A and B are shown apart, each in its own frame.
Chain A
Amino acid sequence: MTAATPPTTARSNPPVEQLESYFGPQDLVRRSATLDQPAPERELTKVAKLIDVTRCIGCKACQSACIEWNDTHPEMEDFAGSYMNPHDLTPEMFTLMRFTEWENPETNQLEWLIRKDGCMHCEDPGCLKACPAPGAIVQYSNGIVDFIHENCIGCGYCVSGCPFDIPRVSKVTNVAYKCTLCSDRVAVGQGPACAKACPTECISFGTKDDMKAQAEERIAELKSRGFENAGLYDPDGVGGTHVMYVLHHADKPEVYAGLPAEPRISPVVETWKGVTKYLGLAAIGAMAVGTTLHGLMGRANKVSHEDEEKAEDLVETEEGTKR
């Protein structure tokens, strides 16, 4: 079997012959709860998905494609005053169009902002940092952050670790789920299902460099049309992401259904996973060693024979006084 070539677009049609995946466990750069993960021998070209929010028409073809490819079964929900459905990401819905009706204070115009939410595939993934189960979350050198479900223990630490509130733990399987960036499609040279399905070319896929270049062109175009603050969302706080947005209002990402302006792994999570572990283990170790040494070298606190005699005297005297 020949190995697939890394995909540079989501547009191409699948090949007829069976291909071997072009990356695998040998390409891991990070593996959760693993202290000595060896550096991979080769470095793959970074891939990225570019979501041009300014082109989105809210058709949800991406959601449908995601459901179909991943064979998930999101529950049918009720209408709650918004086109957003389901009402949040779920273990069965890895991507979600978030609709915001925003009144632009500068123009007094109502703007309908639609952002496709889902895993951002951070270069510095908070979920992976927080995960206690070895190999349940991995990061490949092409930038994809993936959950390996058979290693997941369902503790929900990834939920605490994620700066974007993405992972969801299933009540049925007790395992965490999120967008995989269609790692299984990418592995055989195909782009993600959502990008393939998008009818307006709002979602593109390719190398990260290509996607950035494409974004630059689009941003220049948007600026020429009066969107002065158009820009790319590829936040530095998490080392950049492998899912990027073109935003018309890149100066205030929060208006897009709370997209964080400066996402980073919470300092609380960093402290918990950093100094707390070392100090904690050191404290426990010191206590254990200290007491053992005291036990071996020090003198035990023994009751003497006199104490026993004095006790008898005491008991007799006290009882005597009572009578």
Chain B
Amino acid sequence: MKKRVYSQSGDRIETVDPVSVRRYGPWTRGNHWLTAGCLVLLLVSGLSFFHPSLYFLSGLFGGGQTARMLHPWIGVVLFLSFLVLFLRMVRLNLPTREDGVWLSQPGKVLAAKEEELPEMGKYNGAQKIVFWAMTGLIIVLIISGIMMWEQYFDGLVTIPTRRIATITHSIAAVLIICVFIVHVYAAIWTRGTIRAMTRGTVTGGWAFKHHRKWLRELARLDRAGPAK
């Protein structure tokens, strides 16, 4: 079997007429949704501490005390869950020369003129940016978060350091919410994407339009799915 360059083991063409491509297996999808669920819970509980006008959100957790108690633990779960996702996806998210060309023409990207852009592997430049932004921000959030975790780490750092950790945590949180919005919106705007994380497959047309190099490689590889 040939070496995979643009695809992950498990990615395969499942049917040929019409073409249907397996993009994410059940474990990856579960991993993704666990991370996503944690992020949403962290966002809601975190925002309640961020601004008085959003404090009511802590009611969803049973009050401020419970929200304060749960928030860091959910953060730990997210960190571990994302770590697995990271290890699974990092190889295909390493930047390539084509990403630069692709990213240098945001006009064409936003106008969905992908035929005028270089062919992409499993992830395009923007998806890689989301991946690395999430990675960087989650590292910043977990480190600064532990520094301000009063219940267990109150003496870990000095108070001046803790102040810096707190402001860093809130700025990183704002940024990750923005990245989250971009991520969700991109999945909605690019029709046919969400099923990759629900059913696990995408249509051939989707793969052809957005990730042709990935599709090409899968087609070259042995098909593990049912015969035509």
Which residues of A pack against B, CB within 8 Å? 33-35, 132-134, 151, 153-157, 159-160, 162, 165, 169, 171, 174, 266, 268-269, 271-272, 276-277, 279-281, 283-284, 287-288, 291, 294-295, 298-312, 314-319, 321-322
Contact = CB atoms under 8 A, between A and B. Distances in A.
A295 B185 contact: yes
B219 A319 contact: yes
B192 interface: yes
A269 B216 contact: no
B205 A307 contact: yes
Contacts, number: 173
A268 B65 CA distance: 25
B151 to A, nearest CB: 7
A322 B221 CA distance: 8
A171 B151 contact: yes
Contact of B167 (A271, A306, A307, A312): A271
A35 to B, nearest CB: 5
Interface string B178-217: 1001100100111110000000000111111100100110
Q: For chain B, give the interface size range.
A: 35 or more
**Majority secondary structure of chain A interface residues (helix, strand, loop or mixed):** helix
B52 A134 contact: yes
A283 B175 CA distance: 8
B207 A311 contact: yes
Given A132-B49, A169-B154, A272-B167, A307 B159 contact: no
B134 interface: no
Interface stretch (B10-18, B23-31, B34-42): B10-18
A268 B209 contact: no
A82 B49 CA distance: 40
A312 B189 contact: no
A303 B178 contact: no
B170 A276 contact: yes
A58 to B, nearest CB: 27
Contacts of B185: 291, 294-295
Given A314-B208, A321-B220, 6 more contacts: A33-B52, A154-B65, A154-B69, A288-B181, A299-B112, A322-B220
Nearest to A36: B52
B223 interface: yes
A291 B154 contact: no
10 contacts: A134-B55, A153-B67, A160-B148, A171-B151, A268-B160, A284-B181, A299-B112, A302-B112, A308-B18, A315-B19
Contacts of B19: 308, 311-312, 315
Contact of A165 (B159, B178, B182, B203): B159
A319 B218 CA distance: 9
Nearest to A165: B159
Contacts of A322: 220
A277 B178 CA distance: 14
Contacts of A276: 167, 170-171, 174
B122 interface: no
Interface string B86-121: 000000000000000000000000001000000000
A249 B13 CA distance: 81
A301 B191 contact: yes
A307 B205 CA distance: 4
Contacts of B3: none
B16 A280 contact: no
Nearest to B150: A156
Contacts of B215: 311, 314-315
B33 interface: no
Contact of B177 (A156, A160, A284, A300): A284
